Chains A and B, each alone.
Chain A
Amino acid sequence: MRFRIDKLGVVIAALLAYGAFLAPFANFRANRIVPGEARSIIEALPAGLGAAFLAFAVVAVVLIVAKTPTLFRLVLGLVALLALAILIGLAAGHLTPPENTYARVSPASGFWLTSFAFALVTTDALARLKLSPLARVALLAAVAAAAAALLMSGVWDGLSILKEYGSRAETFWLEASRHVVLALGSLAAAVLVGLPLGILCHRVEALRAGVLNVLNIIQTIPSIALFGLLIAPLGWIALNVPGAAAIGIRGIGAAPAFVALFLYSLLPVVANTVVGLAGVPRDANDAARGIGMTDRQRLFGVELPLAFPVILTGIRIVLVQNIGLATIAALIGGGGFGVFVFQGIGQTAMDLVLLGAVPTVALAFAAAIVLDAATELSSNKPGRAA
């Protein structure tokens, strides 16, 4: 076998080599807010383990630079990521002095860079393998299961982010559920309103430009401003409309956040519905009318099924965007993972920031993978390839 060089592999290997050998692996702090001290991988891990990982890194560098089979690279990436996940947990246990509950150990740049390098190997392999949608979702489930197993096993318990979690476990799950309800609820509302509105815009051409312009302008209003601006009208409603306060409408809190997310979500849903319906072949529509379908039968039997993948793409945009934007809700008392992010920023406690940011990113990422797979499945149905 000839030794051929993978150009992309060279870049990744350089990143990996720097991260493993030159950058600090973990950060040790005597307590939650003092500046940290960097620890190399040899210092951070129990005897021999660090050296073993460095040896593995050397082998990995060679394997990544060489043109190795794609499936092999995928396995290499996944195994290395799993190893890193376990090692950082072990480092936490090793670095924390016994019986000390104030010390904090967190991953440092070396850990992040090596993880990033192996994540790149994995991503590249996945992109080249062109896995089927179901296989991608299965892989996502497997990764989620592995992460859950690591969390349950207690390997990560020594890490600073889990210590932050430990001291506020109950609030965490409360905010998590509020975050999901905000993101999904506003999406559901946007689909309920946006889909009919999109169909209306498609049928009534006079409406189209106007509606889309208004929705476009709403998108330009910065999220924190829109959240804030809704406080006043919703506060007024809560005071003056009987029963409104009883169902949870209030000037501050989740209600304005919900409405703001809903307003932001409308544009992608409406625009994609309009684009999807416009993309239905003219012939199919003419034939549907010509053979005697009523407008309703044509809408449900021909137009919506054919526009579905495009509409689903709009829903994907909305869901990912909402999961991210829901963090802002915390600024107006709407709850969600943003609570930890902004508290953390306020206290300069980065572990707390991570406690809010990591689940948000993970949620958005998982939502994107699942909906991408769904879109691909729906547009790959045999009838659509043409």
Chain B
Amino acid sequence: MIEIDTITKRYGETTVVDTVSMTIAPRTITVIVGTSGSGKTTLMRMINRLVEPTSGKILIDGEPNSAIPGYELRRRIGYAIQGHGLFPHRTVAENIATVPTLLGWDKSRIDAKVKELLTLFQLDPAAFGPRYPHELSGGQQQRVGVARALAAEPNILLMDEPFGALDPVIRAKAQEDLLAIQKHFGTTIVLVTHDMEEAFHLADKIAVMDKGKIVQYAAPQDMLVNPATDFVETLIGAGERPFRLLSIGTVADAAEAGEADGEPIAAALSQRDALSALLWSGRQALPVVGADGAPLGRVTLASLTRRAARPQ
């Protein structure tokens, strides 16, 4: 649990973060969105004290985060940034081992952890461990960046536009991976982005920031239905609302009993993906299958249309 209590950051005359309070529930993904200069990155960097607040405090699991030296705090909190920030002079394995080494883990434990994480991120430890970051593709570098952030098994992971530098295909994959990882470790994730699509796709709760203040902090669905201000509405994009609504739910939620012909859709995909498939194939319904390929019923155009409508 992260409790942010009336926190403010000023640089000279400019107030970058203005008396922000919010509580982030454990084991959830919270996405902070906003335009550039809205203070979203500064707010996040105050959680691990890369930026020291001018006033206010932040409690992590009930303890003020100022109780221990900044560097010790940061070793307990994962941190991944855009452009990955890998150390170019260290191998992939050495990069991932950075924080465990700082914490003084013994070598066998570190090796096991590096191996576990590389495998988890679908990188063969024997092949990728000894390589240097520049020998990897952008997507692989990004995965190593996240793996490094998770190496010391932190409860909290802070991510600053982690997927900003990736092309759309790899970004989608990285987002799926992140959701899987979050489920696997139960990590509390705070992620900063300016991409609304990404926010709606990943977030349990979204915080919209504007000019240093939080204008709305709500679950994605609530935000869609009741945008607090015109700014939030503009950010969501009025024309995008039905599709954003669909992208929150999975196909499994929309599945109903029955049969249908055509290419089956995976239950884990978003309802938005299902809508695309239905429209493109020109069918009224398509079969739904689970991860193991077992049939789970069907999804119909009519039910998706209903779901895309403004909730009453």
Contact = CB atoms under 8 A, between A and B. Distances in A.
Contact of A287 (B71, B86, B135): B86
B249 interface: no
Nearest to B136: A386
B75 A292 contact: yes
Interface string A261-301: 00000000000000000000101111111111110010001
Contact of B132 (A281, A290, A382): A382
A385 B132 CA distance: 10
B249 to A, nearest CB: 34
B98 interface: yes
B74 A283 contact: no
A324 B48 CA distance: 53
B102 interface: yes
Interface in A210-227: none
B89 A306 contact: yes
A271 B280 CA distance: 62
Nearest to A289: B50
Contacts of A283: 81-86
A333 interface: no
Q: Majority SS of interface residues in chain A?
A: helix
Given A383-B134, A385-B134, A291 B74 contact: yes
B286 interface: no
Q: Majority SS of interface residues in chain B?
A: mixed
Contacts of B88: 281, 284, 306, 383-384, 386
Chain B interface category by residue count: 20 to 34
A281 B99 CA distance: 19
A297 B87 CA distance: 13
A93 to B, nearest CB: 56
Given A283-B85, A305-B89, A383-B88, A291 B134 contact: no
A294 B70 CA distance: 9
Contacts of B99: 291-292
A384 B79 CA distance: 24
B133 interface: yes
Contacts of B102: 291-293, 297
Given A306-B89, A381-B89, 9 more contacts: A288-B85, A291-B148, A292-B77, A382-B134, A383-B90, A383-B133, A383-B134, A384-B88, A384-B89
